[in-house]
Amino acid sequence: MAGGGELTPVPGWLERRTSQAPRDLRERVLAYAAEAGGASPEALAMAGQRALAAVLCHAGDRRVALDLLAADGLITLALLAQAEQAPERLHIFAASLLDAGSRGGD
Q: Where are the domains of the chain?
A: 10-102
What is the structure's pLDDT at 8?
42
Q: For residue 71, which of 90, 94, 55 has the smallest C-alpha distance? A: 55
Radius of gyration of the chain (CA): 13
Q: For residue 67, which of 52, 49, 86 has the smallest C-alpha distance? A: 52
Residue 10 in this model has a pLDDT that exceeds 60:
no
Rounded to the nearest 10 degrees, the angle between the axes of helix 65-85 and helix 41-57 is 160
pLDDT in tens, 45-75: 999 999 999 999 997 888 899 999 999 999 9
Q: What is the pTM of this model?
A: 0.83
